[in-house]
Copies of this chain bind each other. A is one copy, B any other.
Amino acid sequence: MLERIRIVLIGTSHPGNIGGTARAMHNMGLSDLALVAPRCEPLTADTVSRASGADHIVHGARTVETLEQAVTDCTLVVGASARSRTLPWPMITPRELGDRLPAELAAPDARVALVFGREDSGLTNAELQRCHAHVHIPTNPDFSSLNLAAAVQVLAYECRQAWLEPSAMEAPPSQPLASHEELEHYFEHLERALIAIGFHDPATPRQLMARLRRFTLRARPERMELNILRGILTATEQQAERRRDDD
């Protein structure tokens, strides 16, 4: 899916932003970059430095003269935009864009373009009107202008999220959890140890054991962790016993 998402940069002025875009794309598994009438030399030392190992994406980029040429084979064209100006246009959030992508790209020849405008002036109205929809990254209204590569980063991140979503993220490699029985043995052991060190008096329980249960259960202890805790209890009891023997 990700290989059929194209990032289109129009009239970019700073090679560093092209490099930063390449890095953000490669980080998120995108590879198709098109440059429309760049206003700088796309491949400079700045590009390579900001690309940080992803400059093959800039080498592979297609450079064309018009937005038309960059998106001619695309089935969905979405323009990154501040809030729509003169003409209201379908406006989606980055999250909604991500939500739409799997269906949009279900057909094997479907292709999506995400179009980003100039650093200083964004996309023209004519360009915005060539898009099926506009995507607006929600920003602080007092400081809404994102760096170009940062805007690509956010949308590329949502693309990757949408691609990963079915499988979600792997859970952290988890060890076997303690069974109910093991937990109950632990709580019995804990209570004995607390009595032995004189911290707990079953005659005046003050909800102590209930509080310790709630705390412990909330952590969903692994079997191995419970073994450590029981080892601590045994060492504690040995101190208390030897103390009694010495009396």
Contacts and interface: CB of A to CB of B under 8 A. Distances in A.
B143 A27 contact: yes
A65 B75 CA distance: 53
A125 interface: no
Contacts of A208: 228
Residue among A173, A219, A224, A231 with the highest chain B CB neighbour number at 10 A? A219
A219 B133 CA distance: 13
A160 B154 CA distance: 12
A29 B144 CA distance: 10
A197 interface: yes
Interface string A142-177: 011111011001100100110010000100111100
Contact of A219 (B147, B174, B219): B219
A198 B236 CA distance: 9
A52 B151 CA distance: 14
Interface in A32-71: 50, 52-54
Q: Of residues A23, A157, A238, A246, which shows the largest number of chain B Cβ atoms within 10 Å of its Cβ? A: A157
B211 A161 contact: no
Contact of A199 (B89, B95, B235): B235
A129 interface: no
Which of under 10, 10 to 19, 20 to 34, or 35 or more describes the interface residues of A?
Answer: 35 or more
A206 to B, nearest CB: 10
Contacts of A174: 88
Interface string A123-149: 000000000000011111001111101
Contact of A225 (B144, B149, B211, B229): B211
A212 B199 contact: no
Given A54-B143, A161-B95, A88 B242 contact: no
A231 B139 contact: no
Contacts of A235: 194, 197-199
Candidate in A88, A89, A136, A175 with the most chain B CB atoms within 10 angstroms: A88
Nearest to A212: B228
A144 B24 CA distance: 10
A190 to B, nearest CB: 9
Given A20-B147, A197-B238, 8 more contacts: A84-B172, A136-B169, A138-B161, A139-B160, A150-B150, A197-B236, A212-B228, A243-B243
